[in-house]
Amino acid sequence: MNKLQWHTFEKKIYIHSSLEKLYKLWASEEGITSWFLEKAEFKNKNGKVKAAKEMVNPGDRYTWYWHNWDGKAEGEITKANGKDFIEFSFEGSMVAVKFEERNNVVVVTLTQFEIPEDDESKLKIHFGCSNGWTFWLTNLKAYVEHGILLNETEINLKENELSGYVFVNM
Q: Which residues of 13-48 are buried (b: 16+ CB within 10 A; e: fewer)?
A: bebebeeeebbbbbbbbebbbebbbeebbbeeeeee
Residue type, 97: V
Residue 1: is its pLDDT beyond 90?
no
Residue with the bigger pLDDT between 14 and 165: it is 14
Q: Residue 137: what pLDDT?
A: 98
- What is the percentage of the chain residues whose pLDDT exceeds 70? 98
Q: Residue 110: what pLDDT?
A: 98
How far is 73 from 28, CA to CA, in rounded Å?
Answer: 16
> What pTM value is reported for the model?
0.94
28 within 8 A of 52, measured Cβ to Cβ? yes
Q: What's the count of helices (H) and strands (E) in the chain, helices before strands? A: 5, 7
- Please give the average per-residue pLDDT across 82-91, as a whole number: 97
How many degrees, rounded to 5, is the angle at CA 88 between CA 129 and CA 62? Answer: 100
Q: Residue 78: what pLDDT?
A: 98
Residue with the bigger pLDDT between 111 and 152: it is 111
Please name the residue ranges forming H helices in the chain. 19-27, 29-35, 119-121, 128-146, 163-166
**Domain 9-166 sits in CATH 3.30.700.30:** no
Contacts 24+ apart (CB under 8 A), 59-64: 62/88, 64/32, 64/37, 64/39, 64/40
Q: Residue 150: what pLDDT?
A: 94
Q: Residue 4: what pLDDT?
A: 80
How far is 57 from 169, CA to CA, in rounded Å?
Answer: 30
Q: Residue 162: what pLDDT?
A: 72
What does the pLDDT look like over 46-84, one tens digit per residue?
999 999 999 999 999 999 999 888 889 999 999 999 999
Residue 90: is its pLDDT beyond 80?
yes
What does the pLDDT look like over 130-168, one tens digit per residue?
999 999 999 999 999 999 999 888 887 777 777 767 777
Question: Per DSSP, what are the bridge partners of residue 49?
Answer: 43
Per-domain residue ranges of the chain? 9-166
169 within 8 A of 154, measured Cβ to Cβ? no
- Please give the average per-residue pLDDT across 92-112, as a whole number: 97
